[in-house]
Every structure is written in structure tokens, then in C-alpha cells.
Amino acid sequence: MTRIVVTGAAGFIGSNIIQGLNARGIRDIIAVDDLTQGDKFKNLADLAINDYVDAADFYTAFSQGAFGTVEAVFHEGACSDTMEHNGKYMMANNYAASLQLFEAAQARKTRLLYASSAATYGGSSVFAEDPAHEAPLNVYGYSKLLFDQKMRSTLGARFDGGSAQVVGFRYFNVYGPREQHKGRMASVAFHQFHQFQTEGRVKLFADYGGYGAGEQMRDFVFVDDVVAVNLWFFDHPQVNGLYNLGTGRAQAFNDVASAVVNSVRAARGEASLGLQALVAQGLIEYIPFPEALRGKYQCFTQADLGALRGAGCDHVFADVAQGVAAYAARLSGRA
């Protein structure tokens, strides 16, 4: 039987990965998390796991072989709050714990598939897995970058110098089910859906950074696609490396808002409207760009998928219209 560990198991991506593993019939899963925020249990309640271990106890126990033979660790556990300013806390959670896990996994010949972040690119205008383009804007991005750098220096540029598979995924703007606990760090689509339900409109930033109102662009990726790519690498243990995990297609915040509003309207039996009509009817509203975010905000991200495709992963990603419609259906209980 295949035994898997998922850290950050009660979190957004971790719980979706467990769901994906369950769909394959894999249930011998050690779920690792910190349930200080107790309502995160909801992300595990409908999933099949073998055991739960608190994150404070897991890393040392794993190093000591407490869980027997483990095929792979999906390491999603981290502090992902980009507005967190406590660098000591961030580095302990995102770098030191990850390094301890990596060293133990290599010693035990356990595969490690871990979450990096597009925040490692920060202010860059090129989003390819190369040190020349890495310029994090916050300590979160730096904590992720430092671990990527450690993997390069320890395993080589392709991460292929170890005893077992190591793969890092630079997640772009992920959205989808099981993110309800994230508060302000939940996706744009999540916040827009609930804002439209409560206020009857979606608010977007006005012009900033050379982009028109609502035209700032991000690479928005549906969590189902994130799970599919993680599992593709799980199925290909010979493939190592650091890979962007986005759609490769930047889309405007206007596109997300339009998809959210029109998905809700469709559920009500109302006709789909174009952007101009949505704005004219007050269903999308633009607000001044916040002073607190000036100089700290990425106006454009778009994953370069050259390395991912070069590795042989040909997964087809949902665009915003497809992914947000599916997500809105689930949020409203229609799927």
C-alpha cells in the first residue's frame, strides 16, 4: 500500500491534493497541519486519511522514521500570508521546516513535491525559472526563494542530484474550493463572489501601474489543475526540477469579475452581460488604488510554461471563464 504524507493538509491546496489522491483510491495518508484555527477541520471532514499529526510534532518524528515507509510527501504547509512582516516566523515556517523535511526525505529515499510560489519573481517582468528573474517583494517570497536556491545548490539546477525525486511548484494565483478559511488571503474569485452576493456589485482597483481600471493582469489557475499537475509528477518519479504552475495565460481582473457576475446571473436565469454593460449597470465598480499597496503590488504575472512542457507535462488548463464558472457553481451549491 502506498503511504503518502500531505503537509498543510487542512489548507487550501493540501486538502484538494488529498481529494485527488482519494479519487485514485489512495487512503493511507498522513495529514499534517496546525488546527489552531479550528474551522479548518472542515477541509478534512469529507476526506479519507489514515492519521492526523500536528505540524509541531511532525518534522522531528518524520526524521526519526516514525511513519515507516513513505512513498512521497506533498509539502503544502507554509505561512502564505504575503502581508506577514515577521521575518523570523516566516523563515522558521517556510524555510527551516522545509529544509528539515527535505534532509529527512532524502535520507529515507522519500519523494518530495513541494509548494514554492510565483512570489519569488516579485517585481520581475519575466516569469521563468531562472535566478535572473527572481526579485521577491516581501519576506514570504524570499522565504520560498531561499528554499528553491537551497535545492539548486544541494541537488543541482535540475534538482536531479538526490536519492529521490524532488519537485518544486511555483504556484501562481490559485483559486477554487476549500479556501474559505483563508480570510484576506483567499482568492480574488472567492472575495468577488461573496461581495457580489452581499453588495450586488464587485469592486476592482482603478488604473494603476500603467494599466487601466481593472486591467491589471494575473495568471489565475484553478485548483483542480494544480492538483492534476502535482499528480502528473507523482506519476513520473523520474522527473525532477522547479516548475511554474500557472496557465501560461495572463487575464485581467475585469475578466474574473465578469465571470463571477455572469455565473451568478446565469444561476438566476439572467442574461450574460459584457464588461461595458456590467460597469454601466453598477455591477462592477472601480475604486482608487490603495496607498498601502503602492510599490508592493504585481500588476502582471504570467507563467512561462516552457520548463513544464519540456518535462513532458501537457495538461490543458482551464481559462478564467471556465474555471470561475465551475467554482461559482460550487460556491452557490449548484455543483
146: Cα separation from own chain's centroid: 18
- What is the SS3 assignment for 18? helix
Our answer to whether residue 182 is catalytic in this structure is yes
CB 173 within 8 A of CB 220: yes
Give the count of beta carbons closer than 10 Å to the beta carbon of residue 190: 21
Return the beta strands (E) in 91-197 as ranges. 111-117, 166-171, 173-175
CB 117 within 8 A of CB 170: yes
> Which run of H or of E encompasses 32?
strand 29-33
Q: Which three cell numbers stand for residue 155?
A: 541537488
Our answer to whether residue 140 is catalytic in this structure is yes
Strand 251-252 to 217-218 pairing: antiparallel
97: Cα separation from own chain's centroid: 19
- The burial of 171, by beta-carbon neighbours within 10 Å (0-12 exposed, 13-18 middle, 19 or more buried), is given as buried
Closest by CA to 251, choosing from 324, 329, 316, 185, is 324
Q: Which three cell numbers stand for residue 244?
A: 511554474
Q: Which three cell numbers stand for residue 189?
A: 474569485
Given the residues 95, 114, 121, 140, the one annotated as active site: 140
**Residues with Cβ within 8 Å of residue 5, at least 6 apart in sequence:** 29, 30, 32, 62, 67, 70, 72, 73, 74
Report the alpha-carbon distance of residue 300 to residue 33 in Å, rounded: 32
Given the residues 182, 211, 286, 297, the one annotated as active site: 182
Which residues are part of the catalytic machinery? 140, 182
